[in-house]
Structure 1
Amino acid sequence: MYPPLNALRAFEVVARSGSIRAASEILNVTQSSISRHVSILEGHLQRKLFYREGRGLRLTEAGEDYLLQIADAFETISNATAAIKNRSKRAQLTLSAPLSLTANWLIPRLKGFLAENTDIDIRLVEGLTFDPSKKDIDCAIEYRFQPAPELASTLLLRDEIVPLISPNHFNVLALSTLDCVKGITLIETSRRLVSWHNLLEGKHWLCQQPFFTVNHTVHALEAAQRGIGIALANRHNAHHLIDTKKLVIPFLIAPSSLPRTPRYYISVPPHRGQNKQVLKLQSWLLKESKDRPSPNN
């Protein structure tokens, strides 16, 4: 059974100030009220908490132990109170998105959304799909074959697979089809669902092909810029690198050569579906996906 909270507070202030009078001034109540609260707490605990010494008070051994144990609780309450009072009244939206799409497509565009919505803060977290265990996610850009039935999902971007190579590397190579990559280092992304191995399956020379493997597309694109080899990526992820001529598409892959590819969806959990800020972000993302070039600055 919890002790009376007013009695606890009175005890804590008396213990720290050393007198009933000082505690009454701090708490802005009468001395008799402080004395009564201390007596109530001693009765509840069935322990004497103070010795009288002249005009002051000294904690008993039981009082010292009790103060030590409740001190952290009062500090926690104080910190929690300060945090809630100081919390920003601005809306914060947590958006989950794949790492490479975030770095290469989303972040170059976000300045526009933030300029249009100065009362909204964006918090980005990494995720290939929506993680239902993370209750703080307001919406997610997902990379998957089909939307999850428990989410409200809308197609955002198709996965346009293209090969990418540095301009200098391209100028010294004759590349026009998939067969032309034989003997050239292929930059493979281990987390990519459509890979060089998928595209070249059945080629008798594949077992002799040199590969450079990374975990994320963002690293594959960097490696391609450095002339390590040919990367395979989503055109949307590399849009700004293509626009700025840091990477070039040496040839297009015939749709018949591609396996079924995932797509990017913007998905919202049911409890956030009517949130005005979430709807604003969703609408803006869909507008940005309509073949609008990525800004270069």
Structure 2
Amino acid sequence: MSRLPPLRALQIFETVGHCGGISQAAKRLNLSVGAVSQQMKLLDEALGMSRTVKDGQRLRLNAIGQRFHARCSTAFEELRAAVAEVERSKNPNNLYVSGLPSLMNKWLGPLIYEWQHEHDDLDIYLDGTLADTSEEENADFRIGYGEPVQYAERSVVLFHDCVVPACSPALLGQPGTVGQAADLLQHPLIRVDSRPKFDSPPSWVEWFGLEGGVVEQTIAVRRSFSSASMAIQAAIDHQGIVLAQYSMIARDIAEGRLIIPWPRAMALPSPYYLSWHPNTLQKAQCRAFQRWLIGRGKAQEDMTERLILALPDLPES
């Protein structure tokens, strides 16, 4: 096995790479410029080559230095995550929930305040990630979409969702400007495209297909986002009309930041689910959280059903 360079030198190299120079890294690390330079020299000697080049007054990474820095950064992030996990484990009164980033941001994030207000002695860690929960992550719960990859036997359906068009009230101007679905094409359309990392929600083409008629204008979508939360924020900022999941915009609609300009909902093909680690329910706070979150999921599904029932029946085109 190859001998690893000194860990301290690697740590300082990572910081130098992020800062783009020795003096900036020295300030961040609260070290002298000479101490940083010495560690950089030690790393060069350990590796048998330099990973930097001078660019005027700045120091930049050469090609192999950039690749080496990327791997070092990933390794240190893993170490930091491992240390954070150990710190969390020191307190048995904690709760670790992993989930899809936009759902965590737009749905669970606002709700969790309600939970923590009633359990103010708990340390709660919310981890927004597309990756499914694994044995190594050791999350108590995972909120995912579709079929659970891990712990299928310890999973329940949380809720079914739908997508509806949504935009800022200011975007449309005068009331009554949308007389048919095709009128939405007079405004910029925003889409969510998270492929290949994750299945994307229904497209505008699929949604317009529900109308049963032919849309004469071309369905042009000029702005795409990899996450639903970014797309929804763009709609809130008057940048266009987004085809959004109702669970993620219900609060924005209730508080007047968004409206539904045309009353047509399209169901998602799969539900959101909640799964948990084999040891999760040994903790009392996790059992209580599971009951609470399943209840919130049922409430969300009821809201979605009420929305669909409240939308008027549209005439066949």
TM range (shorter): 0.5 to 0.7
| Number of the residue aligned with 2:259 | 248
Q: Distance in 2 between matches of 1:259 and 1:86?
A: 38
Distance, in Å, in 2 between the alignment partners of 1:284 and 1:263 is 18
TM alignment of 1:111-260, pairs within 5 A: 111-128=113-130, 130-144=132-146, 146-148=147-149, 150-172=152-174, 174-191=177-194, 192-200=200-208, 207=218, 209-253=220-264, 258=266, 260=268
How many equivalent pairs are there? 207
The 3-state SS of whatever aligns with 1:136 is coil
Task: Indicate conservation of the 8 Å contact 2:167/2:236, yes or no.
Answer: yes
Match of 1:280 in 2: 288
Q: Judging changes above 3 Å, is the alpha-carbon distance between structure 1 residues 260 and 127 closer, same or farther for their aligned structure 2 residues?
A: same
Secondary structure of the structure 2 residue equivalent to 1:222: helix
Q: Distance in 2 between matches of 1:285 and 1:185?
A: 36
Q: What's the TM-score once normalised by structure 1's chain length? A: 0.60
- Cα 1:86–1:280 shift into 2, 3 Å: closer
| Superposition deviation, residue 134 in structure 1 | 3.5
- The CA deviation at 1:194 is 1.6
Report SS of the residue matched to 2:279: helix
* Counterpart secondary structure, 1:261: coil
1:90-129 alignment runs, 5 A limit? 90-128=92-130
**What stretches of structure 1 move > 4 A for 4+ residues in a row?**
84-88, 201-208
The one-character-per-residue Cα deviations of 1:263-292 (angstroms, maximum 9, x if unpaired) are 211111333344332221111112223437
The 1:158/1:86 distance shift into structure 2, 3 A limit, reads closer
Structure 2 equivalent of residue 19 of structure 1: none
Alpha-carbon separation, structure 2, partners of 1:151 and 1:129: 19
After superposition, residues 29-68 of structure 1 pair within 5 angstroms as: none
After superposition, the Cα gap between the structure-2 partners of 1:162 and 1:130, relative to the gap in structure 1 and judged at 3 Å, is same
What secondary structure does 1:103 align onto?
helix
Which SS does the other structure have where 2:124 is aligned? Answer: strand
CA contact 1:200–1:206 (8 Å) conserved in 2:
no
How well do the aligned residues superpose, as a CA RMSD in angstroms? 3.0
Cα shift at 1:140: 0.8
Q: Is the 8 A contact 1:96 1:141 kept in 2?
A: yes
The aligned counterpart of 2:299 is: 291
Q: 1:260 to 1:88 in 2, by over 3 A?
A: closer
Distance in 2 (alpha carbons) for counterparts of 1:119 and 1:90: 11
Instruction: Name the TM-score, length of structure 2 as normaliser.
Output: 0.57
Following superposition, the deviation at residue 204 of structure 1 comes to 6.2
Gaps of 5+ in 1: 1-83
Q: CA deviation at 1:111?
A: 1.8
- Report if the CA contact (8 A) 1:183-1:210 is conserved: no
How far off is 1:180 after superposition? 2.6
Distance (Å, rounded) in 2 between the aligned partners of 1:141 and 1:150: 12
Flag the 1:90–1:187 CA change in 2: closer, same or farther, 3 A. Answer: same
1:266 corresponds to: 274
Contact 2:201–2:268, Cα closer than 8 Å, also in 1 = no
Structure 1 distance, partners of 2:248, 2:140, is 23
In the other structure, the counterpart of 1:66 is: none
- Tell me which structure has the larger Cα radius of gyration: 1
CA distance in 2, matches of 1:100, 1:86: 24
